[in-house]
Amino acid sequence: MVLCWLLGAPRARRVFAPPNDHVAIHRDVSCDDRGVKVVVNETHTATITTTARRAPSWVAQVLVVAGKDVAIELATGEVVATSGFFAVLVVVLASLAFYAGPEAPERVAPGVIWLSVAFAAVLALSRAWAREREERAFEGLVVSPISRSALFAGKAIGVMAFTLVVEAMVIPLTALLFGFDLVKFAPALALFAVLAAIGIAATGTLFGVMTVRTRARDLVLAAVLLPLLAPTLGTAVAATRELFGGVPLHDLGDYVLLLLVFDGVFVIGGMGLFGALIET
């Protein structure tokens, strides 16, 4: 009873709340004629806060894939080095073998530019997909949570970047060896180069994935890719020939439109078919 008197009332309640917000201790103290009864109740509460991680956007996925290829190329330089030197060799040999005097810039130079770009692109595509076969990197791409269209676009952007670098090497060298005015034709050649690079990259990426699991992959890639590149390359050759022949750029709209059509067909087809090809 002395304890009840010390508590100050026949019945008293004390609540102890520790600094931890997740645990609260309740003690009920009651007094009666038989003595003191203490009941301790502990209530454990836990607050779990989860933050939903947003999936990266389609553009972010494309940039991740393209950035991977570009970063590897900046570190190794194997694709641009091998394909670039090959294209330069083709241009030099063609200038020695097919030089036709003053008519060479109009008659020979267009074919030299785009044939060297075509062969270099096949070599670059072969090496780019060979990277994915090493250490089972291709399987990692297949199981990654990246949409198939984003994977296609990212790989195509990487191949397009390599192709543009090769074109930037080939066109000035051809101007030097064949003697046409590079400054005069630079805007039109830049437009043709970008449009052709889009078509080459889209076509090569779409059908390059077919050869990843094949044994004679290099032979199959060349046999499949070169006929499919014929529309884009033929249009680029014809447009360049007309340009060197004195036709202004604004009169070459039909060739530009044709290049855009080929680019659109292969880009849209690639985004739609890449998922099915990569799973087979």
Residue-wise pLDDT tens digits, 29-60: 444 445 444 444 444 444 444 455 676 788 88
Q: Is the pLDDT of residue 91 over 70?
A: yes
Same-domain check for residues 76 and 19:
no
pLDDT tens digits along 20-29: 444 444 444 4
Report residue 280's pLDDT band, with 50, 70 and 90 as the boundaries: low
Kindly tell me if the per-residue pLDDT of 192 is higher than 80: yes
29 and 96 belong to one structural domain: no
Looking at the structure, do residues 8 and 125 belong to the same domain, yes or no? no
127 and 221 inside one domain: yes
pLDDT at 216: 59
**Burial status of residue 149 (CB atoms within 10 A of its CB: 0-12, 13-18, 19 or more):** middle
**Do 38 and 66 sit in the same domain of this protein?**
no
What tokens appear for 78 in the block? Answer: 């194997």
197 pLDDT above the threshold of 90: yes
Give the residue among 239, 153, 235, 251 at the shortest CA–CA distance from 202. 153
Average model confidence (pLDDT) across the chain: 78
Q: How many residues does the structure list for the chain?
A: 280
Give the residue-averaged pLDDT of 166-178: 92
* Residue 82 neighbours by CB under 8 Å, 6+ apart: 123, 124, 127
Asked if residue 49 belongs to a domain, the reply is no
Q: What residues make up the domain containing 13?
A: 2-44
The beta strands (E) that lie in the chain are given as 11-16, 23-32, 35-44
Question: Whole-prediction pTM value?
Answer: 0.74
For residue 50, is it within any domain? no
- Residue 156, pLDDT > 60, answer yes
Structural domain includes residue 108: yes
Same domain for 9 and 125?
no
30 with 86, same domain: the answer is no
Residue 52 lies in a domain: no
The domain tally of the chain equals: 2
Radius of gyration of the chain (CA): 35
Q: What is the mean pLDDT of residues 74-98?
A: 88
202 and 242 share one domain: yes
Give the three-class secondary structure for 123: helix
For residues 32 and 121, state if they share a domain.
no
168 and 104, same structural domain?
Answer: yes
Could you tell me the sign of the dihedral formed by the alpha carbons of 250, 251, 255, 257, in that order?
positive
In the DSSP assignment, the letter for residue 158 is: H
Residue 146 and residue 28 share a domain: no
How many percent of the chain have pLDDT more than 70? Answer: 72
Task: Please check whether residues 127 and 260 belong to one and the same domain.
Answer: yes
